Chains A and B, each alone.
Chain A
Amino acid sequence: MQFESLQNLWRRAIGPFKEFGAMAGALYAADQVLRRLSPQVGIYVYELMVQPIGGKKLLSANLAKNLTFAEIGRSDPAIDLMPARPEIKRARFDQGAICLGVFRREKLIGYAWFCFNTYEEDEVRCTYALAVPDQSVFDFDFYILPEHRMGIGFLAVWHGANEYLRARDVRYTFSRLTRFNVASRRAHAHLGWKCVGKALFFQAYRVELMLATLAPFIFLSWSGKSRPRLRLWPDKLRAQDVGQAGDMR
């Protein structure tokens, strides 16, 4: 019995290292320990990704035929189906974000939020600024209602988002992924994302320390008035575009 408990403890201890690798596993373990000490202390590890808005349709015409895509406004009843807290949703609209809903036979199956120019991170103090704003958006809170998750839901929402963004000449969408969200990383991998930067935030009560691979690299903030600004460039995908064009010649 005691041996089994030790085995379980061992499995739990090495699990994050096996799943995330040595460095991210250590950060995950440290975060778990810190959060037990105080819920106001923790570590956030983000990867900043860019994804192409391609010309290829993600769903075949027959699968897309009953799908519709529409912006959801702040007073739309569909807003109440979203699990985020009301004040969070209000703050998103206040910063100019757009919520795109995807519906099948007029029933909401999922949605995604987009910001143009900048996105104010809501977990930590940080502003993401799009370096090529006329061709880029920042997407966040990509959500599929539970009953549609193991079917067409994920692709349907991305299909709708691609159509919507392509019609507005957007070529790149940026997002912030939590390093420990393995499912989200796998899902985005299908859509051709590239990592454009990494950021780590150590949060202790009102103090936040950011370490990032993008300028300003290190930033210490102790109030909502000071927040780092990370500029996001789509260069990795642009290099790929140039390479592909070269291959076709």
Chain B
Amino acid sequence: MNDETELLTKYIRTETGYAGDINPDEDLLKVGILDSFSIVSLAMFAQEQFGVEFEGEEMVRENLSKLSALVALIRQKQSSAGK
């Protein structure tokens, strides 16, 4: 597990109390670990932790509901900002 995924997983566990396995490729909305409020909270946590800024249009299910997709977005933002 990469650093970003590990940190995001830790955040999800703290916020939701979920103690089971979290697969980075699993749709966390579909399995009920996150809801429409908590995926945006997770994205705002990611902004703070990794120093990136998302656009409102990027706050969609495809980018947020899987940790692997969110990590890909974080890295894309970091590379376009030259980090």
Contact = CB atoms under 8 A, between A and B. Distances in A.
B72 interface: no
B55 interface: yes
A66 interface: yes
Contacts of B7: none
Nearest to B52: A62
- On chain A, which size bracket covers the interface? 20 to 34
A65 B60 CA distance: 16
B64 A151 contact: yes
B37 A150 contact: no
B76 interface: no
B29 interface: yes
A62 B40 CA distance: 13
Given A150-B36, A187-B37, A62 B53 contact: yes
A150 B63 CA distance: 10
A151 B54 contact: no
Interface residues of B, number: 19
Contact of B40 (A65, A151, A183, A186): A151
Interface stretch (A22-30, A75-83, A152-160): A152-160
A150 B56 contact: no
A149 interface: yes
Given A60-B47, A63-B44, A153 B53 contact: no
B5 interface: no
Contacts of A187: 35-37
Given A62-B53, A62-B55, A67-B56, A150 B38 contact: no
Interface string B62-74: 0011000000000
Given A60-B44, A60-B47, A151-B64, A66 B37 contact: no
A59 B37 CA distance: 11
A151 B56 CA distance: 9
Contact of B54 (A63, A155, A186, A190): A63
A104 interface: yes
A186 B55 CA distance: 26
Interface of B: 29, 35-41, 44, 47, 53-56, 59-61, 64-65
23 contacts: A60-B47, A62-B47, A62-B53, A62-B55, A63-B40, A63-B44, A63-B55, A65-B56, A66-B56, A150-B60, A151-B36, A151-B59, A151-B60, A151-B61, A151-B64, A152-B40, A152-B56, A152-B59, A153-B36, A154-B37, A155-B37, A156-B56, A190-B37
Given A155-B41, A186-B35, 5 more contacts: A59-B44, A63-B44, A66-B56, A151-B64, A183-B35
